[in-house]
Amino acid sequence: MTPPASARAVILDRDGTIIVDRGYLDDPAALALLPGAAAGLRALGARGHPLIIVSNQSGVGRGRLTLARMHEVNAALLAVLEAEGVHLAGVYCCTHRPEDDCACRKPRTRLVLEAAAAHGFDPAAAVVIGDKGCDIELGRRLGATTLLISADGRTSDGTPATPDHVVPDLLSAARLIGAAHAAHPAA
């Protein structure tokens, strides 16, 4: 099913936004959804929003886990989400270390631009949701709407950020996006 043209793509961080952030997650069995994640993603998907994960996974570049193991964790996440009635349009990961100065590590925009080309959405019209400063900065660089997942308004990594909205979880994010769409259907 093709999403309606009015459905904005939702760019999501993985760790700390959809799943519990366990540092360098290298065990698919340790994967755990955050409260509200499945329900929020399901609601966004039901409204036709393409859901795309963009994640920094420097544990691969640092030698903390293999590329194959990262793919196993992502496959396990996709299976868990599918069982919850959630379909992701894509998963894009940067496996470089921060000091590699690559073009794909958030807050740089390369992975979102690749996703936009593959899935046919306007990055500036997207919504970027994450828990770290780099997620919010990514959204700013794209000209997108930004939502910070936070209980206290601060980023999980302590970096300063000025998101458009702060929400405690993905279910709250879905409600906010739904309310914004109802108020401005062309948005």
- 55-105, pLDDT tens digit by residue? 999 999 999 999 999 999 999 999 999 999 999 999 999 999 999 999 999
Distance CA 130, CA 34 (A): 13
* pLDDT over 50 (residue 1): no
User: What mean pLDDT value characterizes the chain?
Assistant: 92
b/e per residue, 126-165, with b = 16+ CB within 10 A?
Answer: bbbbbbbbbbbbbbbebebbbbbbbeeeebbeeeebebbe
* pLDDT over 70 (residue 5): no
b/e per residue, 44-63, with b = 16+ CB within 10 A?
Answer: bbebebbbbbbbbbbbbbee
Q: What is the phi/psi pair of residue 149, to 5°?
A: -85, 110
Other CB atoms within a 10 A radius of the CB of residue 96 amount to 18
Q: What pLDDT, on a 0 to 100 scale, did the predictor assign at position 29?
A: 94
Q: Which residues are catalytic?
A: 13, 15
Distance CA 15, CA 7 (A): 24
* pLDDT over 90 (residue 166): yes
Distance CA 149, CA 135 (A): 10
Q: Which amino acid is at 138?
A: L
pLDDT-derived band at 2 (thresholds 50, 70, 90) equals: very low
Q: What pLDDT, on a 0 to 100 scale, did the predictor assign at position 4?
A: 45
Mean per-residue pLDDT for 164-180?
A: 93
Distance CA 114, CA 58 (A): 19
Q: What pLDDT, on a 0 to 100 scale, did the predictor assign at position 185?
A: 52
Map out the domains of the chain with their CATH numbers.
10-123+178-183 (3.40.50.1000)
Mean per-residue pLDDT for 128-156?
A: 97
Phi-psi region of 50 (alpha: psi -120 to 50; beta: other; left: phi over 0): beta
* pLDDT over 60 (residue 160): yes
Least confident range from 22-26, 137-141, 161-165: namely 22-26
